[in-house]
Amino acid sequence: MTTQEEQTRSGLRFPAGFAWGAATSAYQIEGAVAEDGRGTSIWDTFTKTPGKVLNGHHADVAIDHYHRYREDVAIMAELGLSAYRFSVSWPRIQPDGSGRINQKGLDFYRRLCDELREHAIDPWLTLYHWDLPQALEDEGGWPNRDTAYRFAEYAAAVHDALQDYVHTWSTVNEPWCAAFLGYASGEHAPGRREPENAIRGAHHLNLAHGLSVQAMNARRVGGCVNLYAVTPETDSERDLDAARRIDGLQNRFFLDAMLLGRYPEDVLADLPVEPDFIQPGDMKTINAPLDVLLVNYYSRFTVSGAPGGKQSAAAAPTDSGSPWVGSEHVSFVNGGRPVTAMGWEIDEGGLVEILTRVARDYPPIPMVVSENGAAFDDVLDDGRVHDRERQAYVEAHLGACKEAIDAGVPLEGYFAWSLMDNFEWAWGYGKRFGIVRVDFETQERVLKDSAHWYSEIIRQNRRHEPTDS
């Protein structure tokens, strides 16, 4: 028996039917920003604004997935993936943000889904991974309540066209990032630094989630959150309060709204704004029944209430403010763990913690880890990438998934972030998260060692599945 088989048999053996996936998002990979009638998104505008993205990088071409999707699906098939999570570019479907539907945009995703299905890979479609049509930003963006209603219309149009193709629908990827990096810290598009509007935006993103779930009435639909384990630096009252605040803004503001239909009282009390934007019926809408919760997990925060420290866990690449509206005084301290190339601390125990917590504190809901992975400074060595650190990261976090399942968590899948190196937002092409390397000049794809390893784990697990599954 090889070491890998032993590993699978002992530690990394997962239940039959477990979704073995990888994830990407539209703006990060597609390119073709002016093709087939696509409109402008806030990321097109942001990347062209000097000083917003490291080295002035943009994603006009990105990794050319729009033209190379067949090759990319073939790579997924070679890896043995059973599921692929991607996002739809809203401005491809509605170039003006509302009204007119661009058939050519829908056709692209239909072709992609067809290709996936031909390779027995389940399409997991995310409706919003941060590329808001610029036309809607011009009318106020997410702080404008109307945007949530426009989103529901967009969702219904995509659902109408693709309902027979998609395995699992999900609404908004990581509403925390879209609201607080987009409208408070300004690190992400549209780059506004308006803390009170960031809160309004967060509520409207939640509302957009609920309204779109209702509008689609999809066979299988989920919401997506990015959760962090949060630890106080000490047991002092000040640090415990800091941890409560950051956990509140990052995790509970979204989980409680989506799964319990209310905002946590303590978080509302911390905010510098009256919650008069919450209208009657909103919380019930946001609490629309879901089939699955998509959890993105990367790291743990260690926080202190002592002011004057770092305003986030890792340095931002560009000049930006604090995303922690109402809790700007909280400091992020070094928890003493090894870090990735993003400066994010590696802590697989945090994944067990958050998964078991959701299972314990919220109504029962199946979950998947919908993003997990790490950037490292890869070296191309004679056509290979020996990315042992990334492999170790994925292995440790798959171990955490297994531990959570053994503890009774209904975890039904794992998606590596990312399938391929791509445009990493404010970091441009400076950070590589892929298990597949992409040469950004030639667009050549090469499986990294982590991809070969992941593929072997998948094969070992799928060997035990009934063939008709």
Phi-psi region of 148 (alpha: psi -120 to 50; beta: other; left: phi over 0): alpha
Least spacing, CB of residue 371 vs ligand FCB, in Å: 6
φ, ψ dihedrals at 229, nearest 5°: -75, 140
Q: Which lies closer to ligand FCB via its Cβ, residue 161 or residue 369?
A: 369
Tell me if 371 contacts ligand FCB by CB under 6 A.
yes
Least spacing, CB of residue 100 vs ligand FCB, in Å: 28
Least spacing, CB of residue 390 vs ligand FCB, in Å: 13
Question: Which alpha helices (H) appear in 119-145, and where do they start and end?
Answer: 134-137
Least spacing, CB of residue 407 vs ligand FCB, in Å: 25
Where does this chain touch ligand FCB (CB under 6 A) — which range of 105-113, 153-161, 173-181, 345-353?
A: 173-181
Where does this chain touch ligand FCB (CB under 6 A) — which range of 103-111, 172-180, 208-216, 383-391?
A: 172-180
Give yes or no for a contact between 44 and 134, defined as CB atoms under 8 angstroms apart. yes
DSSP structure string for 334-368: --S--B-TT-PBP-HHHHHHHHHHHHHHSS---EE
Paired sense of beta strands 300-304 and 221-226, if any: unpaired
Cis peptide before 190 (omega within 30 of 0): yes
CA-based diameter of the chain, in Å? 63
Cβ-based neighbours of 101, under 8 Å, separated by 6 or more: 93, 94, 157
What does the per-residue mask of binding to ligand FCB show for 392-431, with x meaning CB under 6 A? -------------------------x------xx------
Least spacing, CB of residue 174 vs ligand FCB, in Å: 5
Q: Choose, by CB under 6 A, the member of 228, 433, 440, 454 that binds ligand FCB.
A: 433
* Cα–Cα distance for residue pair 350/112, rounded to 1 Å: 34
Where does this chain touch ligand FCB (CB under 6 A) — which range of 112-120, 170-178, 238-246, 446-454?
A: 170-178
Least spacing, CB of residue 373 vs ligand FCB, in Å: 7
Q: Which lies closer to ligand FCB via its Cβ, residue 215 or residue 416?
A: 416
Show the CA angle centred on residue 390, arms to residues 440 and 25, nearest 5°. Answer: 50
DSSP structure string for 233-282: SSSSHHHHHHHHHHHIIIIIHHHIIIIISS--HHHHHHSSS--TT--TTH
Paired sense of beta strands 221-226 and 292-296, if any: parallel
Q: Which of 260, 263, 261, 227 is nearest to 246 (CA)?
A: 227
* Cα–Cα distance for residue pair 364/19, rounded to 1 Å: 19
Q: Which of residues 260-319 bind ligand FCB (CB under 6 A)?
A: 296
Q: Which lies closer to ligand FCB via its Cβ, residue 277 or residue 423?
A: 423
Give yes or no for a contact between 446 and 385, defined as CB atoms under 8 angstroms apart. yes
Least spacing, CB of residue 463 vs ligand FCB, in Å: 31
Give yes or no for a contact between 180 and 174, defined as CB atoms under 8 angstroms apart. no
Q: Which lies closer to ligand FCB via its Cβ, residue 233 or residue 424?
A: 424
Q: Which lies closer to ligand FCB via its Cβ, residue 59 or residue 79?
A: 59
What does the per-residue mask of binding to ligand FCB show for 196-235, with x meaning CB under 6 A? ------------------------------x---------
Q: Choose, by CB under 6 A, the member of 30, 131, 174, 282 that binds ligand FCB.
A: 174
* Cα–Cα distance for residue pair 341/463, rounded to 1 Å: 34
Asked if 371 is an active-site residue, the reply is yes
Tell me if 173 contacts ligand FCB by CB under 6 A.
yes
Choose, from 348, 371, 412, 424, the residue flagged as catalytic: 371
Least spacing, CB of residue 288 vs ligand FCB, in Å: 22
Q: Which lies closer to ligand FCB via its Cβ, residue 57 or residue 462?
A: 57
Tell me if 370 contacts ligand FCB by CB under 6 A.
no
Least spacing, CB of residue 433 vs ligand FCB, in Å: 5
Show the CA angle centred on residue 224, arms to residues 446 and 210, nearest 5°. Answer: 145
Q: Which of 267, 251, 199, 427 is nearest to 355 (CA)?
A: 251
Segment (H or E) for 285:
helix 282-286
What does the per-residue mask of binding to ligand FCB show for 320-359, with x meaning CB under 6 A? ----------------------------------------
Q: Which lies closer to ligand FCB via its Cβ, residue 53 or residue 278?
A: 53
DSSP structure string for 59-74: -SSTT-HHHHHHHHHH
Q: Which lies closer to ligand FCB via its Cβ, residue 14 or residue 142?
A: 142
Q: Which lies closer to ligand FCB via its Cβ, residue 233 or residue 421?
A: 421
Where does this chain touch ligand FCB (CB under 6 A) — which range of 65-73, 95-103, 169-177, 264-272?
A: 169-177
Size of the site for ligand FCB (CB under 6 A): 12
Residue 387: both structure tokens together: 């990315």
Which residues contact ligand FCB (rule: CB under 6 A)? 25, 28, 173-174, 177, 226, 296, 371, 417, 424-425, 433
Just list the catalytic residues: 371
